[in-house]
């Protein structure tokens, strides 16, 4: 005979499908919801319903929006000569929280991965080139900000090769040592990238 009620197990199973949520975390969240009472659960249900109904994808960049074009693309003060290409919308959030970048973004929706069956047609690559080749485009530099993984590097190399004929400046995010990090804890690949990405202090 099962220890927990079936409804509780179902909630735990669904929560466990979320990224970064293991069995124990799913249990704690499900128990917290159960103990929070009907009002809290109904408020959560309503907010999830609004999330599905109201949040969409910006037709220009692929970031989240609830009103046509997203706030970044709608901001007339952004530098429209810079376009940062990222894997997913959370990368945009990370860059915006970090500050310092005031250009535009393009969300690919993933990275190329032949082993997983992800090809250029599965990503927002065609839309990226439409954007770059549009008559009104003011983009001068494309920053390839895919992750430093095998798939991320392969995607960046593919995009750079395909963009070569457009006459744009194509750059890749620098890599190296984290702020406050210790050299003794850095892996060989990180140290190598730090040397290759060094710059003058003049």
Q: What is the pLDDT of residues 24-65, one digit of tens each?
A: 999 999 999 999 989 999 999 999 999 999 999 999 999 999
Could you tell me if 69 and 58 are in contact, meaning their C-beta atoms sit under 8 angstroms apart? yes
The pTM of this model reads: 0.84
Higher pLDDT, 130 or 200: 130
Phi, psi of 85 (to 5 degrees): -95, 120
The answer, yes or no, to whether residue 1 has pLDDT greater than 70, is: no
Contact of 21 with 15, CB cutoff 8 Å: yes
For the chain, give the mean pLDDT.
91
Does 191 or 12 have the greater pLDDT score? 12
Task: Kindly indicate the confidence band of residue 17, based on its pLDDT and cuts at 50, 70 and 90.
Answer: very high
User: What pLDDT score does 131 carry?
Assistant: 95
Domains and CATH numbers, the chain: 6-54 (1.10.8.420), 64-172 (3.40.1360.10)
pLDDT at 188: 81
Dist CA 78 CA 92 (whole Å)? 14
Q: What per-residue confidence (pLDDT) applies to 184?
A: 76
- Banded model confidence at residue 192, pLDDT cuts 50, 70, 90: confident
Largest interatomic CA distance in the chain: 73
1: its two tokens: 């005979």
Handedness of CA 62, 163, 167, 197 (dihedral sign): positive
For 148, residues 6+ apart whose C-beta sits below 8 A from its C-beta are: 175, 193
The pLDDT, as a whole number, for residue 202 is 60
pLDDT at 14 over 90: yes
pLDDT digits (tens, 9 = 90+) for 68-92: 899 999 999 999 999 999 999 999 9
What is the rounded CA–CA span in Å between residue 85 and residue 108? Answer: 7
Q: Per residue in 155-188, pLDDT tens?
A: 999 999 999 999 999 999 887 777 777 667 777 8
Q: Tell me the residue ranges of DSSP E strands in 15-74.
A: 56-57, 64-65
Task: Please say whether the beta carbons of 67 and 114 come within 8 A.
Answer: no
CA angle 122, 126, 129 (to 5 degrees): 145
pLDDT score, position 183? 66
């Amino acid at each position: 005979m099962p220890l927990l009620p079936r409804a509780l197990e179902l909630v735990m199973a669904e929560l466990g499908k979320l990224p970064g949520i293991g069995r124990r975390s799913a249990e704690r969240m499900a128990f917290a919801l159960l103990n929070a009472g009907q009002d809290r659960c109904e408020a959560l249900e309503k907010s999830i319903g609004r999330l599905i109904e109201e949040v969409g994808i910006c037709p220009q960049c692929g970031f989240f929006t609830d009103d046509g074009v997203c706030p970044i693309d709608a901001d007339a003060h952004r530098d429209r000569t810079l376009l940062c290409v990222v894997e997913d919308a959370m990368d945009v959030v990370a860059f915006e929280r970090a500050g310092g970048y005031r250009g535009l973004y393009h969300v690919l929706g993933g990275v190329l991965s032949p082993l997983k069956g992800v090809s250029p047609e599965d990503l927002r690559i065609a839309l990226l080139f439409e954007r770059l080749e549009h008559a009104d485009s003011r983009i001068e530099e494309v920053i390839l900000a895919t992750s430093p993984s095998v798939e991320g590097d392969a995607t960046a190399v593919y995009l750079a090769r395909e963009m070569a004929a457009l006459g744009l400046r194509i750059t890749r995010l620098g890599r190296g040592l984290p702020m406050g990090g210790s050299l003794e804890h850095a892996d060989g690949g990180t140290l190598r990238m730090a040397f290759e990405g060094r710059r003058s202090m003049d």
